[in-house]
Amino acid sequence: MRLQFILSEIGIGLRRNLSMTISVVLVTFVSLTFVGAAALLQLQIVKMQDDWYDKVEVAVYLCPAGESSAPTCAGGEVTDEQKDAIMAALDAPDVAPYVEEVFEESKEQAFETFQRQFEGQFWAQVTTVDDMNESLRIKLSDPEQFEVVADVLQGRQGVERVQDQRDLYNSLFRVLNSATLLSLGLAGVMLLAAVLLITTTIRLSALSRRRETGIMRMVGASNLFIQLPFMLEGAIAATIGAVLSVAGLWAGTRYLITDWLGGQVAWIPYVTTNEVWQVAPFLVGAAILLAAISSLVTLSRYTKV
């Protein structure tokens, strides 16, 4: 009987404040979608870092035949003796453990790559093989130890510059992190709106049933029994919003990222629907927490007779 009564009270409350309930569902849906998107974006960054940093190489550009502003290239194009000295430095006992493999790229190979990447561009047509740098691509056993190798090679005769390819990726990661912070900021504003809406919905529901709650209190009903229907109304509305946000994130990840974006740019390790299911329990938990906070703020005041 008690369960049936509570369920009937929940149904009455939801019907009486239908427009407010729908508003709670929509605001919770939007706010938790932003939260979920921020979480998925952060998981995407971690996934890309794990995959790309393992493939990162140290690029060592040797002195070209043309003019160079680097003091180490004052003598002109890198010589065979200088190349041998560079390779010997990489084979030194204090550096060799950090070097997994060294790939040599000739000027001809660099020219072919350049022409392929910038085919049809004006500067590609006027560039010659002699404008290219010979280079070494050093794969590290631990990409975090870039400085060890860089310190040995920078300033060495025949080396124009040393570049850690992580710098290219870190710019992208900074942009993605900024997008994460923006999503969290918008989510925070929407979550505040959700709390206020849930609080208002519970208050209106409590005020509309003030006479019933007064009778229940006079016949000895406990505070929990009186307040439980109101608490569940907010929890149900917020949970529906959370479920909709999970469904939206799943659909976006499945059809927009995996199917469409994955088909366009296949070399990036994208988040999948598996990550959505990992985030889903936290979104539902956040919805229930929102309802609990709103209930605590409202019920102690508006269910008193």
Which domains does the chain possess? Answer: 2-52+170-302 (no CATH), 57-164 (3.30.70.3040)
Alpha helices for the chain (secondary structure H): 2-16, 18-53, 80-90, 107-117, 122-126, 146-153, 166-208, 210-218, 223-251, 262-264, 273-302
User: C-alpha angle 236/237/238, rounded to 5°?
Assistant: 90
Q: At what angle do helices 2-16 and 166-208 cross, to 10 degrees?
A: 100
In the block, residue with structure tokens 């209106």 = 204
Contact 16, 8 (CB under 8 A): no
Angle (nearest 5°) at CA 243 between 238 and 247: 145
DSSP 64: P
Residue 250, pLDDT score: 94
Contact 162, 58 (CB under 8 A): yes
Angle between helices 223-251 and 166-208 (to 10 degrees): 140
- pLDDT score of 248: 92
Query: Do the strands 159-164 and 99-105 form a parallel or antiparallel pair, or are they unpaired?
Result: unpaired
In the chain, the N- to C-terminal Cα span, in Å, equals 24
Residues of the chain short of pLDDT 70, as ranges, are 1-20, 50-56, 117, 120, 122-124, 143-144, 165-170, 172-173, 201-202, 204-231, 265-267, 295-305
Q: Give the model's pLDDT for residue 5.
A: 45
Give the pLDDT of residue 182: 79
* pLDDT the model gives residue 305: 42
What gap in Å lies between CA 250 and CA 287, rounded to an integer? 17
